[in-house]
Structure 1
Amino acid sequence: MKQKLKNRWLIALSAIGIHISIGSVYAYSVMTNPVKNIFEVEGGDIKWAFKLAILFLGLTTTFLGKWVEKMGPKKSGIIAGIFYGIGIIGAGLAVQITSLSLFFICYGVIGGIGLGLGYIAPVSTLIKWFPDRRGLATGMAIMGFGFAALIFGPIMQKLFENVGVANTFYILGIIYMILILVSASYLSTPPDGYLPEGFIPGKGNNVQKDLATISSKEALKTTSFYYLWIMMFINIACGISLIAAASPMMQEKLNYTPIEAAAIVGFIGVFNGLGRLFWSSLSDYLGRINIFILFFVFQIFAFYFLPKIDSEWMFLAVLFTVITMYGAGYAILPAIVGDLFGTKDLGVINGRVLSAWAIAGIVGPTIYDVIKKSTGSLDITLAVFAGLFVIALIVSILLKKLIVITQKKIDLKKVIV
């Protein structure tokens, strides 16, 4: 008996459910003050749990991608929910018994592994279900990751005020675990050779066939992989540095009070999420590499001129546009990986490119702090990042040339055959 085909839009909704849960890590700043008061340490000490979580997210996507592909999205998604839920619940226990080291282990290590598994588990599945709209599909899921802080931030704050710190972690851990487990239970890969009804790659649409279908080991031998890694590294390093410095920058440039700057930082989360959906959907029509080239051209000028802008509305417009491009990089990545290397080992290759995230998250803000402290100049600091985008632009143009050459070879083979 033929198995009933699942609804691919419910698959996408399930992916969103997972990403909204794990994306709550971006609301970590809400936890900082309540948790630091429990442990009687500085806020910077408590932030190490967040840094560990992002580090282990990157390590997990890099080294466990192959395992996730082998296990399948449902099983790996369920395991992600168990790890992330236990990590958050364990953090509550650490607060209750006042053990800072246990807090780091539970939230940073165990929770971080759950983050990594949950991040990549639905990605290759969505690409396979949406060959006609790869950008839209991954954009929807990863938008959830960007919006999660807006959803869970206020909930966390209310819980801290009403039930206490430890109980908040217990409640959130259970909520995350249930939401991820329920979402993961519907995930599955489509049948081999699946195409949406009426869709033929390259015929009557803007979607071409994949340039190759290769393994993760073969992808590491290609120039395209390293071009893509460099592009992601620079986009993340520069974007995350701007996010980390947004509040003091607005206080310095626009004379905002700390409270006013904090309110604008909240809007950053909105544009981070919206950018993931908007730009990734647009990439289905304009082409993934063309969108990246657009990003880098805009950000060369944006980072160079931002410190020189005195108009409040123009400053914020440029800042928010940059944030949309930062968030969109994550959403477009799985789609362009599919375009370049096919879906055979997409989760593994995507995870290895995301090792750029773990490194850029440390390198970018460090470069910003060192240059800003040594020069005292925001102009010089952001000019350095503008220079990095020049490198990213050159690399993206080289990648586009590779794509064009590869496509011509494919077309030539068709003519010969």
Structure 2
Amino acid sequence: MSPPVAPPGWSRWLVPPAALAVHLSIGQAYAWSVFKPPLEEALGLTGTQSALPFQLGIVMLGLSAAFGGTLVERNGPRWAMTVALICFSSGFLLSALGAATEQYWLIVLGYGFVGGIGLGIGYISPVSTLIKWFPDRPGMATGIAIMGFGGGALIASPWSAQMLESFGSDSSGIALAFLVHGLSYAVFMLLGVLLVRVPGAAPEARGGVESSAAAAGARQLPAGPQVSANQAIRTPQFWCLWIVLCMNVTAGIGILEKAAPMITDFFANTSTPVSVSAAAGFVALLSAANMAGRIGWSSTSDLVGRKNIYRLYLGAGALMYGLIALAGDSSKPLFILCALVILSFYGGGFATIPAYLKDLFGTYQVGAIHGRLLTAWSTAGVLGPLIVNWIADRQEAAGKDGSSLYTLSLFIMIGLLAVGFVANELVRPVHPRHHVPVPASEEQPEDRPEKQPEKQSKAKEAADVQQQQ
């Protein structure tokens, strides 16, 4: 299913809302912690067991993005958004059946496996298209869309809490909440499917960003280095960024998945414990910070550079974790503020990575490269929740409670961020031996190097400047 090509004069600013319709829906994944306590009580699960649907969902997100990245590039964003809609909504419907029949494996299969495929395909569906629409501001463009994934829980968290309060937190109430989620998100994601467009070949169809001197319909070779997806995974830059993303995500996702129980535990032994509704509100606040970080920090990266912004994410993030570990239980404002900063860095890291990839590998197959890199998210989706939940369960079994359930986990996260910081420092421009030309069939005669030596020279100079930055 190919998306219609935008006609001349069609506003490129209609593409981000289409992307947001999908990302705001699949961003519900970050509100999973609202369902953890009811599921644990209704089905007799441990914290580690109740994290399985979320963990599997993130694993499938990365794997489906990696294997589906090339298909998304080939078939276009409308096809990808349609697949995401079907899988994500079907996952909720299967989960509803599992909750109604108290068959937890169906919830894991539905929300984790089927829904996770929808997460992955939906997540990468607009990225390449947005970068093509906004070649002048790639960080901002991808940030606008990807902030929707971070902000999905801002809607889903209070909405889910209200449904559980209205329907009941037993298995039938959980089933009904899952059912409403599945049907509602199908309708909302359909808006994105119908609205999305790809840019035409003419410069004016891309929002008038490039020079209008080229003839209508002419295709120009992208400036700067161009690396194919297959070649990119052979470069050290790809694997350095894989480590950067994996460490940043592991450190953030473990706490995000456990957010509601964590804030409750941290202040359970104080004179002002945190209520269930307040914990859900905390999850919504984290979602707002996640969302704001995606657009704010990624836009800032257009000004200060990708490497510098990741230095901030990883270095300052480690400092915030240290403050929570050492003094988080002494002050709710301190705990909340540090958590909000961490989640803004977490979201910013996701939104900035496509632009980082574009800077290093070019736009030729950036969507497919991004999909492969998201396997780091799959790994982190297992590691983060596993570290936090497993250690908390062991500490609880040893008779500990309150903030002491999480102290060791927090120090482990600091170490992971330090590893990511080192990997970011090792990123260098991609060696020219990895560069590949766009296939000759995609060139116009006037684009070929032998026809335009001056143009080729200028493009090389621009690439050299970009690499030095």
Q: TM-score range by the shorter chain?
A: 0.7 to 0.9
Q: Which of the pair has more CA radius of gyration?
A: 2
Q: Output the CA distance in 1 between the equivalents of 2:59 and 2:140.
A: 27
Matched, 1:53 2:21: no
Which runs of no fewer than 5 residues in structure 2 stay unpaired?
A: 168-172, 212-221, 399-403, 436-457
Deviation readout 1:303-333 (Å, 9 max, x if unpaired): 3344334565444433321221011111111
Instruction: Name 2:143's counterpart in structure 1.
Output: 139
Instruction: Name 2:310's counterpart in structure 1.
Output: 292
How far the C-alpha of 1:223 sits from its partner, in A, is: 1.4
Among 189, 193, 199, the residue aligned to 2:198? 189
Amino acid paired to 2:297: W
Change in CA separation of 1:403 and 1:288 when aligned onto 2, cut-off 3 Å: farther
Instruction: Name 2:22's counterpart in structure 1.
Output: 18
Among 332, 335, 352, the residue aligned to 2:352? 332
Q: Output the CA distance in 2 between the equivalents of 1:166 and 1:242.
A: 26
Change in CA separation of 1:317 and 1:126 when aligned onto 2, cut-off 3 Å: same
How far the C-alpha of 1:300 sits from its partner, in A, is: 3.5
Point out the more displaced range, 243-252 or 86-95: 243-252
How far the C-alpha of 1:133 sits from its partner, in A, is: 1.5
Deviation readout 1:3-28 (Å, 9 max, x if unpaired): 43532111100100000111112222
Residue pairs, 1:375-414, within 5 angstroms: 381-399=409-427, 401-402=428-429, 410-411=460-461
Matched, 1:230 2:234: no
Change in CA separation of 1:392 and 1:26 when aligned onto 2, cut-off 3 Å: closer
Instruction: Check whether the contact 2:154–2:285 (CA below 8 A) recurs between aligned residues.
Output: no
Q: Output the CA distance in 1 between the equivalents of 2:366 and 2:282.
A: 36
Instruction: Check whether the contact 1:23–1:144 (CA below 8 A) recurs between aligned residues.
Output: yes
How far the C-alpha of 1:265 sits from its partner, in A, is: 4.0
Among 102, 105, 108, the residue aligned to 1:101? 105
How far the C-alpha of 1:153 sits from its partner, in A, is: 2.5
Name the Cα RMSD after superposition: 3.4
Instruction: Name 1:247's counterpart in structure 2.
Output: 263
What TM-score results when the alignment is normalised by the length of structure 1?
0.85
Matched, 1:117 2:121: yes
Q: Output the CA distance in 2 between the equivalents of 1:150 and 1:351.
A: 25
Amino acid paired to 1:280: S
Instruction: Name 1:322's counterpart in structure 2.
Output: 342
How far the C-alpha of 1:167 sits from its partner, in A, is: 3.6
Instruction: Name 1:170's counterpart in structure 2.
Output: 179
Q: Output the CA distance in 2 between the equivalents of 1:17 and 1:105.
A: 25
Q: Output the CA distance in 1 between the equivalents of 2:464 and 2:179.
A: 59
The residue matched to 2:267 in structure 1 has which SS? helix
Instruction: Name 1:87's counterpart in structure 2.
Output: 91
How far the C-alpha of 1:118 sits from its partner, in A, is: 0.8
How far the C-alpha of 1:247 sits from its partner, in A, is: 2.0
Q: Output the CA distance in 2 between the equivalents of 1:166 and 1:387.
A: 39
Amino acid paired to 1:123: V
What percentage of aligned pairs have identical amino acids?
Answer: 33
Change in CA separation of 1:34 and 1:262 when aligned onto 2, cut-off 3 Å: closer
Point out the more displaced range, 121-130 or 313-322: 313-322
What TM-score results when the alignment is normalised by the length of structure 2?
0.76
Deviation readout 1:161-197 (Å, 9 max, x if unpaired): 4454434333321221121122122223212474542
Instruction: Check whether the contact 1:216–1:348 (CA below 8 A) recurs between aligned residues.
Output: yes
Point out the more displaced range, 49-58 or 126-135: 49-58
How far the C-alpha of 1:106 sits from its partner, in A, is: 2.1
Q: Output the CA distance in 2 between the equivalents of 1:158 and 1:413.
A: 53
Instruction: Check whether the contact 2:25–2:152 (CA below 8 A) recurs between aligned residues.
Output: yes
Change in CA separation of 1:67 and 1:324 when aligned onto 2, cut-off 3 Å: same
Which runs of no fewer than 5 residues in structure 1 stay unpaired?
A: 201-208
Among 63, 66, 70, the residue aligned to 2:70? 66
